[in-house]
Amino acid sequence: MAEQSVLLATAGYDHTIRFWEALSGICVRTIQHTDSQVNRIAISPDKRFLAAAGNPHVRLYDAQTNNGNPISSFEGHTANVTALGFQSAGRWIVTGSEDGSIKIWDIRSPNVQRDYQLKAPVTDVIIHPNQGELVSCDQNGTIKVWDLGENRCTHELVPEEDVPVRSVSMAIDGSILVAGNNKGNVYVWRTKNKGDFTDLEAVKQVQAHKTYITKCLLSPDTRSLATCSADHTVKIWSSIDHGFELEKTLKGHQRWVWDVAFSADSAYLVTGSSDNSARLWDLSNSETIRHYNGHQKPVVCVALHDISI
């Protein structure tokens, strides 16, 4: 990671968003997100904006200047916003909330463009690599696929009855879908036609942790899966040939680990924890190479953008 090309941010329950020099560990900017805790953050593909999901608002900040005031706010959710993501071209964002809705917003306009109603609090939403579908999971234990062209839910999966699904992730080529739940189980499905859910095939179930999985994330090179948990650890699994065998366990955080983000080359991992810190890990040796201290309460979300544009 070349320092000048890295944008790293962390946020959490202390109502602040912090930007860091990734390699030095120095905090270079702090935004006071005064009206609520921050549940999720995301950096736009062009690195111009940082979106922060709170309760119940979503704020958009300038990621390139020292302006600490939101550029715009997205109003419409009525409870904690728990999921957030930018479309690949950066023209719209998707959000999911404990109010049981998924919404799509145009970056240039704070108005809701799409609004999907679920019967349960939403725990995660991701954008399919084809940019034409969404995948959500919820507190009822359901995974849903939303077709933006047809404007409806087209597929539904229930890995375990009445067990909340906490996180979903999809390979960059659309070939693998992964979900993690509150019992510590990871479920893996393969799509035969690189993302076509019509031919979805269950290929693996792994007892990854003995307690809550808070986040699961496939690496950009699709060769690894990271899972983090209430058990204070992060585990790295090999996804080669859909084996999902445990490769390494990252230990060092003292409390729940809430979020993870891979570097673009899949060689490094950033994690955020209830121990009020974030860490940068070198996955070649499982070592913490940088410790980001400064938050006064749990760090529950991290965002890393280290691709030159």
Please answer whether residues 132 and 148 qualify as being in contact, where contact means their C-beta atoms are separated by less than 8 angstroms. yes
CA atoms of 84 and 103, how far apart (whole Å): 10
Hey, what are 159's tokens? 């890995």
As a CATH number, domain 120-251 is 2.130.10.10
What is the percent of the chain where pLDDT is above 90? 92
Ordered by start, the domain boundaries in the chain are: 120-251
The reported pTM is 0.96
Give the 3-state secondary structure of residue 229: strand
Nearest CA-CA partner of 287 in 235, 246, 247, 252: 252
Q: What is the pLDDT of residues 101-112, one digit of tens each?
A: 999 999 998 889
- Predicted confidence at residue 307, as pLDDT, reads 85
Q: What is the pLDDT of residues 212-264, one digit of tens each?
A: 999 999 999 999 999 999 999 999 999 998 899 999 999 999 999 999 999 99
Number of neighbouring beta carbons within 10 Å of residue 40: 25
Mean pLDDT of 22-42: 95
Residue type present at position 42: A
